[in-house]
Amino acid sequence: MGEDSRRLGGRTGGRLGDVREAALTLFAERGYRATTMRAIGEALGLRGPSLYNHVGAKQELLRDIMLGTLDRLLAEHAAAVAGIEDPAEQLRRAVVAHVRYVVSHKREVLVNNREVLSLDEPSRVLLVARRNEYERLFRNLVERGLEEGRFEVESARMASYSILDMGNGVAVWFREDGAMTGEEVAAHYGRLALQAVGARPA
């Protein structure tokens, strides 16, 4: 077994995560198109040919990162709103969960925001469908709040877009050593979301 193989193990081994981490960092810093498989290998101390023993192609890495991010966001949303009936509290919790994910996964969020057009088909279709599904969950909460007289906003669609864009923007400026912790930022954005939809007391 060669030195490169000993470093990463087999394709299905735990060290495959190292390849993904290196690719994620480079995609976030340089962009997908400016990142080569050679650069990913160099970040891990691997020669080019050895890297392909562990991952099929750069596109495969991008697909797994982007689709995996949406799957986790969907799961976080479901957990956040489970067992809650009030649409205002559901919206607040959903936004807190979203921003909490953003501050702890800034690279994934940046890549997902920037690299949609870099995905080949059919992966791009799958990603767009999951993004639409995720946005629709927030829109449904706003629509229900409007129906129940809890919210006052002109467009549920525009409100959900604005809330998600606002939350995703945290990935650009948040720093671990900043004035607010990630939890404080998430809580603040939860309150901002309720203000954005004109939430009224129950």
pLDDT band, residue 2 (cuts 50/70/90): very low
Inter-residue contact 62 to 144 (CB < 8 Å): no
Closest CA to 91 of 201, 192, 174, 202: 192
Residue 56 has pLDDT above 80, yes or no: no
Does residue 13 have a pLDDT over 50?
no
Question: Per-residue pLDDT for 3 more than 70?
Answer: no
Residue 38's pLDDT band, with cuts at 50, 70 and 90, is confident
CA distances from 120 to 40, 123, 172 (A): 20, 6, 25
Per residue in 80-98, pLDDT tens? Answer: 999 999 999 999 999 999 9
CA 39, CA 26: separation in Å to the nearest integer? Answer: 8
Domains of the chain: 3-56 (1.10.10.60), 59-196 (1.10.357.10)
Query: What are 129-185's pLDDT values in tens digits?
Result: 999 999 999 999 999 999 999 999 999 999 999 999 999 999 999 999 999 999 999
Helix H or strand E segment including 164? helix 156-168
Mean pLDDT of 58-79: 96
> Rounded distance, CA 139 to CA 157, Å?
6
pLDDT at 11: 38
Q: How far apart are CA 170 and CA 147, in angstroms?
A: 30
Task: Using CB atoms within 10 Å of the CB of residue 103, give its burial: 0 to 12 exposed, 13 to 18 middle, 19+ buried.
Answer: buried
CA angle 184, 31, 67 (to 5 degrees): 65
